[in-house]
Structure 1
Amino acid sequence: MDIKPIRTEQDYMETLEEINGLMTAEYGTPEGDRLDVLTTLVEAWERDHYPMEAPDPIDAIKFVMEQRGLDAKDLVPMIGRANRVYEVLNRKRPLTLNMIRRLHKDLGIPAESLLAA
């Protein structure tokens, strides 16, 4: 398996092109192994060269709610009474550490996203 580091934008683009050709490779095959290694290299390159900021905590909560078909009453166990949920969603009340822990545990929202403010 001849694999080299991604050092330039050109290397990055060539690697993406190769990954595109390997997308149908099956797991456990030489092509699948190559795809796995190349995607790891691309992820490292993108993390260093195209960093993404964590989303706004309230936007992250609303995104998860939309994706899962949840409404405000579904957040009561994690945030508190319904009026408190609406205060948080309308940015009138900040998230507490306990709310962050529960949202992370129950909804799987990354704690980093919930702590960003």
Structure 2
Amino acid sequence: MNIELIHTEADYQAALRRIRALWEAEPHTPQADELEIWSMLVNKYEEEHFPIEEPDPIEYLKIRMEELGLSQEDLVPYMGNKGNVSKVLNRKRSLSLQMIRNLHRGLNLSLEALIAEPIQAG
């Protein structure tokens, strides 16, 4: 087992090939241990070189509304009134701290996604 840190794209591709070769390793074997080490190294490289942006809170809210089958009217109890809901969804108003708390508690929406920096309306 010759494991080295991943520094380059070539190292990364080689590590992915090795992971594919070890994918069917039986648990509690040296091959399974090697697979786990390579996976951790690849994960670290990907976090550093391919970071995932936090979602925009308004897009997140719209996606969750669709997934949960909610209408704008369903958000009124969490956001105060229809005008607030409309303004927020149309990026005319930011989510308030109280709205964020209500959406998180009432609909179990992600705090991290709700407090992310919104994309400004163009």
Q: Which region of structure 1 is more displaced relative to structure 2, 43-52 or 89-98? A: 43-52
Q: 1:61, 1:109 within 8 Å by CA — same for their partners in 2? A: no
> When the two structures are aligned, how many residues end up with a matched partner?
116
Listed as ranges, the matches of 1:74-113 within 5 Å are 74-105=74-105, 106-111=107-112
Q: How far off its partner does 1:74 sit?
A: 3.4
Q: Which protein has the larger Cα radius of gyration, Structure 1 or Structure 2?
A: 2
Find the residue that maps to 1:115 and give its secondary structure.
coil
TM-score, normalised to structure 2's length?
A: 0.69
Q: 1:104, 1:111 within 8 Å by CA — same for their partners in 2? A: no
Instruction: Please list the CA deviations of residues 19-66 of structure 1 after superposition, one character each: whole Å capped at 9, or x if unmatched.
Output: 33445556x443554444333322221221122322221111112222
More helix by share: 1
- Counterpart position of 2:115: 114
Tell me the amino acid that sits aligned with residue 116 of structure 2: L
Aligned mates of 1:98, 1:23 — CA distance in 2 = 47
Q: Which region of structure 1 is more displaced relative to structure 2, 38-47 or 8-17? A: 38-47
Structure 1 unmatched ranges of 5 or more: none
- Counterpart position of 1:6: 6
Q: 1:57, 1:114 within 8 Å by CA — same for their partners in 2? A: yes
Find the residue that maps to 1:91 and give its secondary structure.
coil
TM-score, normalised to structure 1's length?
A: 0.71
Q: How far off its partner does 1:12 sit?
A: 0.9
Tell me the amino acid that sits aligned with residue 74 of structure 2: D
Structure 2 unmatched ranges of 5 or more: none
- Counterpart position of 1:55: 55
- Percent identity (aligned): 41
Change beyond 3 A, Cα 1:100–1:42: farther
Tell me the amino acid that sits aligned with residue 108 of structure 2: L
Tell me the C-alpha RMSD between the 2 structures: 2.8
